[in-house]
Amino acid sequence: MMGPSHAACGAAAWVALTGSYTVHLADTSLPVGLSLMSVGDPGVITGALICAGAALLPDMDHPGGTVARSLPPLSRWLARGVSRVGGGHRHGTHSLVGLLVVTGLAVLSQRVSVPVGDALRWSTARDAAAAGLPAGTGSSRATQLAGAAGLTGGGGPPGSAALAGDAASSLPGQVWPLAAVLSVLLIACAVKVLAFVPDRLSHANWVVGILLGAFVATHPPEDPRWFVVAVSLGWAVHMLGDLLTTQGIHLLWPLRPRLPLPTGLYRRRAFVRLPLLGNAGSGREILLLVPVTLYALAGLFCAAISWAGLTVSV
- pLDDT tens by residue, the chain, 314 residues: 898 999 999 999 999 999 999 888 778 888 999 999 999 999 999 899 899 999 999 999 988 888 888 888 888 899 999 999 998 889 999 999 999 999 999 998 877 767 665 544 444 444 545 555 444 444 443 343 333 333 333 444 444 444 444 444 444 566 667 777 788 888 888 887 876 666 666 677 788 888 888 888 777 788 888 999 999 999 999 999 999 999 999 999 999 888 888 888 988 778 999 999 999 889 999 999 999 999 999 999 999 999 998 776 55
Residue 266 lies in a domain: no
Q: Are residues 36 and 126 in the same domain?
A: no
For residues 301 and 308, give the distance between their C-alpha atoms in angstroms, rounded to a whole number.
11
For residues 201 and 181, give the distance between their C-alpha atoms in angstroms, rounded to a whole number.
21
Q: Are residues 25 and 135 in the same domain?
A: no
Nearest to 212 by CA among 180, 178, 177, 179: 180
Nearest to 296 by CA among 2, 38, 18, 59: 18
Q: How many domains does the chain have?
A: 2
**Separation in Å, CA 96 to CA 5, 57, 103, 108, 128:** 21, 15, 11, 19, 48
pLDDT of residue 170: 45
Q: Are residues 40 and 125 in the same domain?
A: no
Phi and psi (nearest 5°) for 96? -65, -35
Residue 39 lies in a domain: yes
Q: Are residues 192 and 50 in the same domain?
A: yes
Q: Are residues 136 and 230 in the same domain?
A: no
Question: Which one-letter DSSP state was computed for residue 38?
Answer: -
Residue 257 lies in a domain: no
Q: Note down the domain range covering 183.
A: 3-113+176-236+281-307
Nearest to 302 by CA among 31, 4, 38, 50: 31
How many CA atoms lie less than 13 Å away from 46 in the CB half-sphere? 25
Q: Are residues 11 and 142 in the same domain?
A: no
Residue 22 lies in a domain: yes
Residue 73 lies in a domain: yes
Q: Are residues 19 and 164 in the same domain?
A: no
pLDDT of residue 40: 92
Q: Are residues 184 and 52 in the same domain?
A: yes
Q: Angle at the Cα of 211 (from 206 to 212), degrees rounded to 5?
A: 100
Strand bridging mode 266-267 / 271-272:
antiparallel
pLDDT of residue 209: 83
Question: Which one-letter DSSP state was computed for residue 249?
Answer: B
pTM over 0.85? The answer is no
Residue 241 lies in a domain: no
